[in-house]
Chains A and B, each alone.
Chain A
Amino acid sequence: MTEAKKTTIVLFSGDYDKAMAAYIIANGAAAYDHEVTIFHTFWGLNALRKDEEVLLPKKKSFMEKMFGKMMPRGADNMGLSRMNFAGMGPKMIKDVIKKHNAVPLPQLIELAKEQDVKLVACTMTMDLLGLQKEELFEDIEYAGVAGYLGDAQDGNVNLFI
């Protein structure tokens, strides 16, 4: 085989179902021997959030605190893009996932890390939403649009979810 192919995914959405689709494709592509990058921006950043409260070195402004409280803290706390039913939807979908032996989102993210999928956080939107590095997973990278394009221009599969 020649040089490794590349897959890049922009995860813009912070919905459980959409993030699940993104991570299934990422894991599939990694199994296809692709070099895989997921670029998390806007609401998609929440997939990289730790689920516990973190002591922050930099104090948050009022708006940043509001954003922090209103956004899901970590993949497992995300809502559904359809049929969320004020939080009942995710419970139902997780039940169905279990019943069908599918892999829940937090484990898909772990699996992606094991398969060396490159997880990137967009620093500009981190700033907008007031997310600090300490709130996100340790083993990720930080970049902007040029960092994404650097990967995407050689991409064989480029998706925006």
Chain B
Amino acid sequence: MNVDKVLDATGLACPMPIVKTKQEMKGMEAGQVLEIHTTDPGAKSDLTAWAKSTGNELLELQEDGDVLKFWIKKG
């Protein structure tokens, strides 16, 4: 997968993963992909719901031990 940017949000608690994701996405162009790493277990539903409601596309979600990895394409 072509990743344009990586956001390390590991260790951060709610609401920071989505706040940081939003801020990161703001500076990106439509079609670009952001990879996000987080350790907040709530982020699984948080980022999924966020992507859906904000018109972005969650391409993939992987669990790598304690780290959740997301790939979101900007809509």
Contact = CB atoms under 8 A, between A and B. Distances in A.
A84 interface: no
B14 A102 contact: yes
A32 interface: yes
Contacts of B19: 27-28, 30-31, 111, 115
A24 interface: yes
Given A31-B19, A115-B19, A24 B55 contact: no
Contacts of A27: 15, 19
- Give the interface size bracket for B toward A: 10 to 19
Contact of B54 (A1, A101, A103, A115): A1
A30 B15 CA distance: 11
A31 B11 contact: no
B53 A32 contact: yes
Interface string A87-122: 000000000000011110000000100010000000
A154 interface: no
B54 A24 contact: no
Given A1-B54, A1-B55, A31 B21 contact: yes
Of residues A31, A100, A111, which shows the largest number of chain B Cβ atoms within 10 Å of its Cβ?
Answer: A31
A33 interface: yes
Interface of B: 11-16, 18-19, 21-22, 50, 53-55
29 contacts: A1-B54, A1-B55, A24-B14, A27-B15, A28-B14, A28-B15, A28-B18, A28-B19, A30-B19, A30-B22, A31-B18, A31-B19, A31-B21, A31-B22, A31-B50, A32-B18, A32-B22, A32-B50, A32-B53, A32-B54, A33-B22, A33-B54, A101-B11, A101-B13, A102-B13, A102-B14, A103-B15, A111-B19, A115-B19
Interface of A: 1, 24, 27-28, 30-33, 100-103, 111, 115
